[in-house]
Structure 1
């Protein structure tokens, strides 16, 4: 016999209404039946599977009625007997929490495997939002240790932070769950008595999953405004003792948030796993062949000579964010290069430092290959192959040449902010070639490293541009001497650390940049007198076999992508990058950027990146006819101040030597891009070109779609994955990339005023580009032209709503996870080394 106790589940008081709707619940004690499907205006009580959890706010029967508002307060006052879960009731029923409970995982005992049964569900349904720095509530579900760590309401991305924050990197800044508790993380697993009832009742994960199961998404195409999907939405990170109140106020906010519930079968597996105490069997042992390679590479990285130690430091400071793997390993185990207090052969004891060039403490540490424990997600995945050829290449570049290495440089902010001084003993040509060999990886650092998140961080670049590199011809002793002479002006603002000021430091670095531009202009003039006028031979051709020579960057408003190849139509602008610029970009936005830094540190990094963009564009302008350079510059910087333009090309950045390239006349910028396409045709990656579809008719239809231009595209999402269906054959995928037109990207806070909708373009790329799809469309092969017409005619929100009604796989689609699984599987199949799970945090709702 149950004693039913009513409680108020949720209510809404409308100031202008006499009556209001009240939802109440009927909670059984000590067990409860699940909620029935809601049917307003009727008493509903339909038992489901019994559960030991006692929760009248979430998982019970309920009723709905219309009452007079004058009676509402009396009703609320009379509902004092509801049993809700609080810290006190949990402690009473299951004992106090033990933070050490998940310091060491419990091995499975009843046939359920975390790796085989649980992890695949977490990856497909949870990791697609809960990974990396932008995981909601810092709840990282890509590793068991992340689940054990739990959640925090402290923001990692905080553009207004006045003081640096304490880092909270999983596997780095704390090791055990109990250590994370001292840093403010709250558990999402039960840390009380290990009995099945407690393992569900005291688990935030279970409660969130059950909340969604009991309160599915409303049956509407567009979810109501109560669902906030904005990038900087307020975090909701309830602790277990707060979960009743949270759920009562937000009954539709179960997990997965704003997406359909997991299936009954998936829910049953997760429930069983949680009921058993969230066991984890650990990672499988590495194959013996992989262990041998780890040992071989650790010997290389830990050489004793000063030359070897300096080379290893240089490599580490460039690869510390890489997912390293062995090219002979068919299973592709990934590793990270870390600094450890312990030598090879002993368990790794990582040194937790904000930056790779921070003082490690002590006279000697060791470079180690630490196994990657988290799921591979596309937004942070930066694979880098190690093997015999790589080892031989590095020995040839750095170790075989005879050059002296004096006293090893110190570890300090100043040393990291000026790599030209820190690594002056290493040959410049070797350093540049090291970066060129994997130039996509190098550029990807400022795309996938923590700096590039959010509109303010990314509005320093155009939406679509091509990247090329100056040839590494060495340029003789004069180039090395010039770089050493100018190194004092090339110090980066990362020298200010994570608690940086803004105004004073900014003026200092702006003056240094101006001096460097003036000296560089004089140097280029002298160099041209020695080498001749700039021509196509000045552009790196990938040594005839390296596809890293031609790259494309796309910005998607608050995220970005870089890919090999010259993708899309000829862009408005492009960069030509040489060694000093490439090195500074890396140390500014990757090695030297601290995502936990204050607003001054973040703003200085963003402002200085303006100089980096301008320098890359200046280098490109130097190949155009002298008479057209200023006109092209003015087109790139319409509306910008004269001072800004002079930094790009003018009194500060001068190069008055005529180009050595013969142009036919007309638009030299477009012609130069065409010449670059010809020069790099042998090496340019073509995986994203529509010609690779092998279907001329389909290619023609998609090219018609790519021809859409103008204001209509302003209503399109930034990045759309288009699923093309045709009969029984497997669906094909292309990516639609909206390139927003800008008069300039020189303003930090006025991007809205710089938009030029009439210059919007659309790129259609074969396969997948980008880690954060904003929308997923599905279209029949015969409907592509209809989709193109619909996009070209977008003029209002209603127009887009009609388009999405026909073609979009919305968040609310009951079949969403089916389409998601097929999409993710195809993505990983097409690029098994470079692809990771796509992220759904930016999926639209319209």
Structure 2
């Protein structure tokens, strides 16, 4: 009944917003154009600009700096995606991609993948560049409206506005009744020179790159062509072993922005092609990377990323000769055999434990561990721009550890792996259109399989580790890999993954083994379809609940058996939640011992984390101390000499990891993510102020606001931009930081927070907003060019 009620309530839930684009002449039909992101403000270059390069030199930089703050990925208003000319040419669509109530799946609308040029018109997209006359051009008029109605007040965030003008008649009604919808929405208008640039472009027919410019943009740089060719050769070898390994790599890397160290600002996508890479890439567009490609022979190719990079979908992944050697060592050194390649049939393709059973488990698991931050990030950013389906099923901040491959049940016993494979089924097996009437039965099947697997796992553990797990069973990164400890920090419906233990001791901790790690990737990334129906999305979400609870349970097996239940109860408070846990997730293996010795103070979670960080993992693996946030964690006496907090960190430590209790409630008034720009003599330093909102439990899809624990809220403060959707930007000079911190600590109300914003905040109405915004992006690119991507402002504070 609880599940049926949850399903019924889901139908009444409001959906989010959508995204896509439109345009006119330029790129040859069926092709893609890349418009590289350029730093700084969009200024016209001096002298005449050839029409062939007009778009990439003038217009795309303007889009990057003024439009991508809203218009990129699926959450772009009206699906108008301006990451490159093809997005502009595609136009807009009134369909909401993030529709959590649709009964039937919809056709995918992934820019650069699902259609090209005029094919988009058949899919309901309409042009936004409607005329060479700027007075009759829909795109230009909506952009100019912001300048003529600059005092119009906005009252809604982008996700809550669903007006998509399709004709000039629509525009005239919009301008009359809703002038606040002029672009950029809710931010200062484009400057006169920027509007003039757009106007001249529109008069010229809104041209895109010509064929020669297009070819230049989509051809790998000379420095990279040899490596690209070598990787494509490696991926397309004919042996069954190579084919299986390439399929495994593709299904895990299809979201990656692959780059090479020789030219780290140039990114590629790994795609399947209908013809050889040398003949010209013809990408095979399937809903999922594990769907049948529709042909027996196809090729894996590296395709240049065709648009400007935005932070919310940017997951960089490095390839190099060393990485290829590592793949060969992991997957091809041993003499395992493949008798036949796995099919793409239901029940096989969606289950990696079945599809890839011939690849040694240890190789698969070590592959995931090698780049664990990337793999975990795929479900956080993934194909959906934000992780709303998954992210509200996790805590606001938690550490992630991994089971040592040599201790994993599946690695240790092939017989066990074969038994477990069928029990590890995931919702993807039922596709994108799950019959609503069958959903409760499917849910019960998932629960039954999961419970049988839990029992099997505990039985195997008792055989293999009768004395329980010890510290040696925690992966130590091999003594050199900094992916061994990760931290996930959530900001509402999106999150980031950092290396190391960031923030103070987390409430819960994930311990991932191979089955958990692989299911996390396949359930939320490979098998998930953002265009699927309500039941597909719901089952994906509830299965993530199961993964979360299993990861917490595996962590608890390292603690004394007599304390596990009390920890679990503290994580899942509330009578209804306790009842659900007893029914859906009863305790299993509560008597299994631990091989770790603890002191008698009973704070065993803290003891265990400290043992891992300070004694089991070396400094290379665990990373540096979190000098700003660590307060509950206690540095061993032998390491106290390394604990030196000074400068900006010393001041910011005063507001980090402070519980929002009666005397210090300031953190609860902060938004999910604020960026603090500190102007120093050496340049701009940016810190992220992340609001960790504590919950009584996170075991329900809806009603999150009813289960909050605001007195336990804290701020995590970290140098760098750790999030894609800032809600507020603060600007302070270095000599003002102490005053800023003092004012933060004195906050007792929402009014006090607004006073802080008035003094230091960058309100969206500030006439100099774009100047600060540009400077920040320049600093971001300079400090971390590989991870750089433009920020999304769709959640920026309204006032």
Find 1:701's aligned residue among 626, 640, 651: 651
Equivalent residue, structure 2, for 1:337: 270
User: 2:561 matched to 1:626?
Assistant: yes
Contact 1:452 1:458 in 2 (8 A): no
Shift in alpha-carbon separation, 1:199–1:318, aligned structure 2, 3 A:
farther
User: 2:173 matched to 1:245?
Assistant: yes
Contact 1:614 1:647 in 2 (8 A): no
Equivalent residue, structure 2, for 1:293: 227
Find 2:671's aligned residue among 717, 722, 737: 717
- My pick for the range that moved more, 656-665 or 292-301, is 656-665
Shift in alpha-carbon separation, 1:823–1:690, aligned structure 2, 3 A:
farther
The 2-side partners of 1:379 and 1:587 are apart by 20
* Residues 663-687 of structure 1: CA deviation (Å, up to 9, x unaligned): 3533111121112221333312349
How far 1:455 sits from its partner (Å)?
5.2
* Residues 456-501 of structure 1: CA deviation (Å, up to 9, x unaligned): 6422100000001111116586433212111111000111110113
User: 2:451 matched to 1:514?
Assistant: yes
Contact 1:646 1:653 in 2 (8 A): no
Contact 1:551 1:562 in 2 (8 A): yes
Equivalent residue, structure 2, for 1:741: 694
1:274-293 mapped onto 2 (5 Å cutoff): 274-281=202-209, 282=214, 283-284=216-217, 285-293=219-227
Find 2:253's aligned residue among 309, 314, 319: 319
How far 1:205 sits from its partner (Å)?
2.0
The 2-side partners of 1:119 and 1:688 are apart by 39
Find 1:659's aligned residue among 590, 595, 607: 595
Equivalent residue, structure 1, for 2:198: 270
* Residues 571-627 of structure 1: CA deviation (Å, up to 9, x unaligned): 111101010000000000000000000110000000010010011111111111222
Find 2:610's aligned residue among 647, 668, 674: 674
Task: Compute the RMSD of aligned alpha carbons.
Answer: 2.5
Contact 1:152 1:237 in 2 (8 A): no
Contact 2:108 2:531 in 1 (8 A): yes
Shift in alpha-carbon separation, 1:436–1:644, aligned structure 2, 3 A:
farther
Equivalent residue, structure 1, for 2:128: 188
Find 1:387's aligned residue among 295, 320, 325: 320
For residue 509 of structure 1, give the secondary structure of its aligned residue in structure 2: helix
The 2-side partners of 1:230 and 1:130 are apart by 10
* Residues 637-690 of structure 1: CA deviation (Å, up to 9, x unaligned): 111534544589853354521332343533111121112221333312349755
Shift in alpha-carbon separation, 1:655–1:772, aligned structure 2, 3 A:
farther
Equivalent residue, structure 2, for 1:170: 111
The 2-side partners of 1:451 and 1:280 are apart by 27
Shift in alpha-carbon separation, 1:488–1:275, aligned structure 2, 3 A:
same
Equivalent residue, structure 1, for 2:775: 822
Contact 1:593 1:605 in 2 (8 A): yes
Shift in alpha-carbon separation, 1:399–1:655, aligned structure 2, 3 A:
farther
Shift in alpha-carbon separation, 1:343–1:392, aligned structure 2, 3 A:
same
For residue 416 of structure 1, give the secondary structure of its aligned residue in structure 2: coil
1:89-108 mapped onto 2 (5 Å cutoff): 104=29
The 2-side partners of 1:142 and 1:654 are apart by 52
Contact 1:99 1:181 in 2 (8 A): no
Shift in alpha-carbon separation, 1:326–1:491, aligned structure 2, 3 A:
same
1:110-121 mapped onto 2 (5 Å cutoff): 110=51, 113-121=54-62
The 2-side partners of 1:145 and 1:455 are apart by 27
How far 1:769 sits from its partner (Å)?
0.6
How far 1:555 sits from its partner (Å)?
0.8
Find 1:155's aligned residue among 96, 107, 122: 96
Shift in alpha-carbon separation, 1:647–1:340, aligned structure 2, 3 A:
farther
* Residues 175-226 of structure 1: CA deviation (Å, up to 9, x unaligned): 11x1111111111113x5xxxxx342342221122111222245xxxxx4x4
How far 1:247 sits from its partner (Å)?
1.3
Shift in alpha-carbon separation, 1:475–1:187, aligned structure 2, 3 A:
closer
* Residues 222-259 of structure 1: CA deviation (Å, up to 9, x unaligned): xx4x4311534434344344211211212232111110
1:456-535 mapped onto 2 (5 Å cutoff): 457-473=390-406, 478-500=412-434, 501=436, 502-529=439-466, 532-535=467-470
For residue 247 of structure 2, give the secondary structure of its aligned residue in structure 1: helix
Shift in alpha-carbon separation, 1:694–1:331, aligned structure 2, 3 A:
farther
How far 1:112 sits from its partner (Å)?
5.7
Equivalent residue, structure 1, for 2:764: 811
Equivalent residue, structure 2, for 1:25: none
Length-normalised TM-score, structure 2:
0.87
Structure index of larger Rg:
1
* Residues 820-841 of structure 1: CA deviation (Å, up to 9, x unaligned): 0111111121111122111111
Shift in alpha-carbon separation, 1:775–1:99, aligned structure 2, 3 A:
closer
The 1-side partners of 2:385 and 2:559 are apart by 31
For residue 378 of structure 2, give the secondary structure of its aligned residue in structure 1: helix
Which has the higher relative contact order, 1 or 2, with Cα contacts under 8 A spaced 6 or more apart? 2
Contact 1:521 1:653 in 2 (8 A): yes
Contact 2:488 2:498 in 1 (8 A): yes
The 2-side partners of 1:664 and 1:779 are apart by 46
User: 2:697 matched to 1:762?
Assistant: no
Contact 2:673 2:726 in 1 (8 A): yes
Equivalent residue, structure 1, for 2:727: 774
Contact 2:504 2:657 in 1 (8 A): no
1:229-244 mapped onto 2 (5 Å cutoff): 229=157, 231-244=159-172
Gapped regions of structure 2 (runs ≥ 5): 1-21, 36-48, 630-641
For residue 118 of structure 1, give the secondary structure of its aligned residue in structure 2: helix
Equivalent residue, structure 1, for 2:10: none
The 2-side partners of 1:578 and 1:758 are apart by 34
The 2-side partners of 1:820 and 1:717 are apart by 18
Contact 1:718 1:738 in 2 (8 A): yes
The 2-side partners of 1:345 and 1:125 are apart by 37
Equivalent residue, structure 1, for 2:12: none
Contact 1:722 1:776 in 2 (8 A): yes
Length-normalised TM-score, structure 1:
0.83
Equivalent residue, structure 2, for 1:684: 622
The 2-side partners of 1:514 and 1:556 are apart by 31
The 2-side partners of 1:172 and 1:493 are apart by 25
For residue 405 of structure 2, give the secondary structure of its aligned residue in structure 1: coil
Contact 1:199 1:276 in 2 (8 A): no
User: 2:238 matched to 1:304?
Assistant: yes
Contact 1:452 1:560 in 2 (8 A): no
The 2-side partners of 1:451 and 1:202 are apart by 34
For residue 415 of structure 1, give the secondary structure of its aligned residue in structure 2: coil
Shift in alpha-carbon separation, 1:693–1:257, aligned structure 2, 3 A:
farther
Shift in alpha-carbon separation, 1:456–1:366, aligned structure 2, 3 A:
closer
Contact 1:689 1:766 in 2 (8 A): no
The 2-side partners of 1:557 and 1:784 are apart by 27
The 2-side partners of 1:331 and 1:409 are apart by 35
User: 2:164 matched to 1:210?
Assistant: no
1:368-407 mapped onto 2 (5 Å cutoff): 368-407=301-340
Equivalent residue, structure 1, for 2:156: 228
The 2-side partners of 1:642 and 1:652 are apart by 15
Equivalent residue, structure 2, for 1:831: 784
Contact 1:123 1:142 in 2 (8 A): yes
The 2-side partners of 1:600 and 1:527 are apart by 39
For residue 231 of structure 1, give the secondary structure of its aligned residue in structure 2: helix
The 2-side partners of 1:389 and 1:228 are apart by 50
The 1-side partners of 2:627 and 2:383 are apart by 29
